[in-house]
Amino acid sequence: MNIGSKMASNIQPGEELLRIENISLSFGGVKALTEVSFDIKRGEVRAIIGPNGAGKSSMLNVINGFYHPQVGEVWYCGQKRKGLKPFQIAHQGIARTFQNIALFKGMSTLDNIMTGRSTHMRANMLSQAIWRGAAEKEEIKNRRFVEEIIDFLEIQSIRKTPVGRLPYGLQKRVELGRALAAEPVLLLLDEPMAGMNVEEKEDMSRFILDVQSEFGTTIAIIEHDMGVVMDISDRLVVLDYGKKIGDGTPEEIRNNQAVIDAYLGVPHE
Amino acid sequence: MFYRQAGDFKTTYRDDIQTFPLKQDRWGYYIVLAIAFLVVPFFINDYWTSAVMLPFLIYAIAALGLNILTGYCGQVSLGTGGFLAVGAYGCYKIMTSFPDLNIFVVVLLSGLITAAVGMLFGIPSLRIKGFYLAVATLAAQFFLVWLFNKVPWFYNNSASGQISSPERSMFGYAITGPNADAPVRYLFCLTLLVMLAWVARNLTRGRLGRSWMAIRDMDIAAEIIGVNPLRSKLSAFAVSSFFIGVAGALFFSVYLGAVEVGEAFGINQSFLVLFMIIIGGLGSIFGSFVGAAFLVLVPVLLKNIMVNWLGWPTDIAVHIEFMVIGGLIIVFLIAEPHGLAQLWRLAKDKFLLWPFPH
């Protein structure tokens, strides 16, 4: 059990896991996010959608601590977050995948996923140097878990292939595996299906739903394919020009006039 | 035909993560070890020890160290010469201050001192990368050489400014000093090299090694999935400098016996070790050995051919040697940018299928 699962242990499914309060983020004169507030409940699939440049990826970067908003608060597991570095937030159980694949190209699939497991490993340098004993035991224990993920994602055959040589769809899958290896409480997926064909999208959607139901992982997903998003998510947040213009179930969002306007391109007054 | 992975099934994860998963590789490794420890010492003479074996063993340790930092963690360093000097002077100071201390312990302590110095000079790596970091480590190189030149305390106020190694022995055999026998010096360095290579392999296959490689391949993603960049980079600097410090201590105490810092540990050394790991293969333990062997053996070989066989004058031979080695480096880098280790890997892959290409 690592810090993340401990922090989230008293939050039941359906209760608030993460709350974004009044976040504003700007880079110089460019306002990426303006006064955005929403929450993510434990166990749900929460989609963040919006046209290009709406601030979706910036939102994920705020959630995992890569960007520090000028205004606003992030509450996680009932605690207000302050001054944490991204790797500390990873240790609290937030994992993510990236819009442009960010795998470790020189390493094998197995090593990539094992790296995702590093928040669960704590053998010190000396025992790792000696290897026999504690370090080896820990390695094997975590390898067993990683093999379960490899089975789950059906990537057994590429276990020892350097990821740089894999096709795009498989790289996306390995990246999901690397995030899953951390056994995250909250999993952030940044366009996991971009550039995929219908079949690959179906596979990926199935994996995402399986992750939610099998591991009870809470998922925040950015995706452009409306068909997919409406199908797999429980609730959606819609951003446009850095502002929240809609929040609710797929049904509510479908009938939200502001959202329809944003997607169809009604001029802003 | 005989080199096969088919039929060699792994039934435990422990078998699967061992260093040499193939049976033939494992036996090859045992045979090389046996020859190095049990056969070579009986045939080795003074010339072979000081011209070939000791430089190879010591540079292999240094190359392993630099490969951990540059090859595995992606932090370019041009400070190797300076860190070798820290190892050498650390060794000298400990040897002269505590004459009763075992030489083996002295060498390891010199490594620890160098590790601390390396971490200090590794701090800029948290802010700067690539060429800029290379320049920052270059500063370490010049500063350290200057320091050992300027402060007489480091060379115990000797008139020549040199440091020379007193005699120290283990199990009754002199290891340093003028009375040390060739096989003893060879075995001492070999033992350290084998131990350190084993440590390097263990560190690079576990969590720490993966965090180094993650930082090398994509530092932002590494941090976001939970790798502490400060710890990874500084541990890489520490481990790398430890290896280089041990190499420096051996270079001074066992190999040369007496050194002057500017000559022995100049910027040339930094580049030489860097060339070794680039030619041998970045991010490869085996590559560190091959690179060191290549740059130590080829000059000796060329010199023997040109001077002893063909009877050419020494000065011409030296110049031709420079040209040939330079040419070879370029040829190798064009033919295989990932180094000799990659060539070896490709050859093995071919052999796994030979004689049937599919």
Tokens of A29: 């004169």
Q: Scan for tokens 């366009």, then name that residue.
A: A191
Choose the closest CB to B225 out of A85, A90, A106.
A90
Are the beta carbons of B214 and A87 separated by less than 8 Å?
Answer: no
What residues of B are in contact with residue A106 (Cβ under 8 Å)?
213, 216-217, 283
> How would DSSP label each residue in A80-148?
E--S--HHHHHHTTEEE--SS----TTSBHHHHHHHHGGGG----HHHHHH-TTHHHHHHHHHHHHHHH
Q: Which fold has domain A1-93+184-269?
A: Rossmann fold (3.40.50)
Residue A43 DSSP label? T
With an 8 Å Cβ cutoff, is B54 touching chain A?
no
Answer yes or no: is B13 within a domain.
no
B328 SS3 class? helix
Tokens of B211: 């965090």
- How is chain A split into domains, by residue range? 1-93+184-269, 106-181
Range of the domain at B80: 33-284
A236 SS3 class? strand
With an 8 Å Cβ cutoff, is B210 touching chain A?
yes
Q: Name every residue in A having a CB less than 8 A away from some CB of B.
A: 64, 66, 85-87, 90-91, 95-96, 98, 102-107, 111, 114-116, 118-119, 121, 123, 125, 128-131, 135-136, 138-140, 143-144, 147, 178-179, 182
With an 8 Å Cβ cutoff, is B206 touching chain A?
yes
Q: Scan for tokens 């609290």, then name that residue.
A: A92
Q: Is A110 exposed, middle or buried (0-12, 13-18, 19+ CB in 10 A)?
A: buried
Residue A128 distance to chain B (closest CA, Å): 6
Beta bridge partners of B316: none
Answer yes or no: is B229 within a domain.
yes
With an 8 Å Cβ cutoff, is B204 touching chain A?
no
Nearest CA in chain B to A92: B226
CATH of the domain at B248: 1.10.3470
Number of domains in chain B: 1
**Distance from chain centroid for Cα B27:** 24
Answer yes or no: is B322 within a domain.
no
Answer yes or no: is B236 within a domain.
yes
Best CA proximity match to B154, nearest among B243, B254, B146: B146
Are the beta carbons of B199 and A129 separated by less than 8 Å?
Answer: yes
Q: Which long-range contacts (CB under 8 A, 24 or more apart) does B138-143 make?
A: B138/B78, B138/B79, B138/B267, B138/B270, B139/B79, B140/B79, B140/B82, B140/B83, B141/B78, B141/B79, B141/B80, B141/B81, B141/B82, B141/B267, B141/B270, B142/B82, B142/B267, B143/B82
Give the angle subtended at the CA of A212 by the CAs of A208 and A213, to the nearest 5°: 120
pLDDT tens for each residue of chain B, 358 residues long: 566 676 677 778 777 777 777 778 888 889 999 888 888 888 888 888 888 889 999 999 999 999 999 999 999 999 999 999 999 999 999 999 988 888 899 999 999 999 999 999 999 888 888 889 999 999 999 999 999 988 889 888 887 888 888 888 888 888 887 777 888 889 999 999 999 999 999 999 889 999 999 999 998 999 999 899 999 999 999 999 999 999 999 999 989 888 888 888 989 999 999 999 998 988 899 999 999 999 999 888 888 888 888 888 888 888 888 898 888 888 888 888 888 888 888 888 887 777 776 6
Contact B68, B240 (CB under 8 A): yes
ipTM greater than 0.85, yes or no? yes
Are the beta carbons of A87 and B13 separated by less than 8 Å?
Answer: no
Residue A145 distance to chain B (closest CA, Å): 12
Choose the closest CB to A115 out of B13, B211, B220.
B211
Tokens of B215: 């930082």
B199 SS3 class? helix
